[in-house]
Structure 1
Amino acid sequence: MKKHLEIWSETDRQKRKQAIDELYAETCEVFDPNYADVFRGHDALMGLIDEVQSKFPGFVFTKRQQDEHHNIVKLTWSFGPLDQPDAITGEDVFIMNGDLIQTLYIFIDHP
């Protein structure tokens, strides 16, 4: 899941698009607690990442812990600038379809 966090931190849209194509199913669904609507497909995911990056310039994701079994992966992360890498923390839960992310649930910790 290292590549997942690299995708969310990647600012080069072309590199990010290529990585999304390699890691996410074309019909992926992303559930973010800050939005009522589900993000469906690669284009919607790109738009969500663009928005996150524009709200938090210079922030990067860092892996904290990972656990997985069967087709489920749980990943805890931190998000912040280099001088405060734990500014925001949270957890992603993935439903995998083979090697591809089919569904992503994002959980953001509240202070």
Structure 2
Amino acid sequence: MQIDPTSNEDEFENGSDTYLVDQVLEQRKKDPGEAISQYKPMSDQLAALRAEIGRLAESASLIAEEASAIVAQAPARLRSEGERQFHKRPVISLLAIGILSFRLTRALLGRSYRMR
């Protein structure tokens, strides 16, 4: 059963999530015998589902490989970006490093008695 998405556009909402479902139901109302006769045997449907699952698994593995490559390159990119920012604004970078060092030291060692 071929569904033409451009036909009967005025009958259905454009952008609706149920657009295709509405078209299939309308087609079944017109000729219910034809819709039932077009079903494939269960074994063919299972084979098609297995093939689709295989394609989805392959796509997921490719996406995972790309994501791991991006994550592996992240430290080098961050370091080069930090070096570029340091050379671009050295005074601000030194000030930021000083503040971060002070806060980190204070968080790790706690407040000293002299600062109270």
TM-score (norm. length: structure 2): 0.22
**Highest CA radius of gyration, 1 or 2?**
2
Quick one: higher RCO (CA 8 Å, sep 6+), 1 or 2?
A: 1
More strand by proportion, 1 or 2?
1
More helix by proportion, 1 or 2?
2
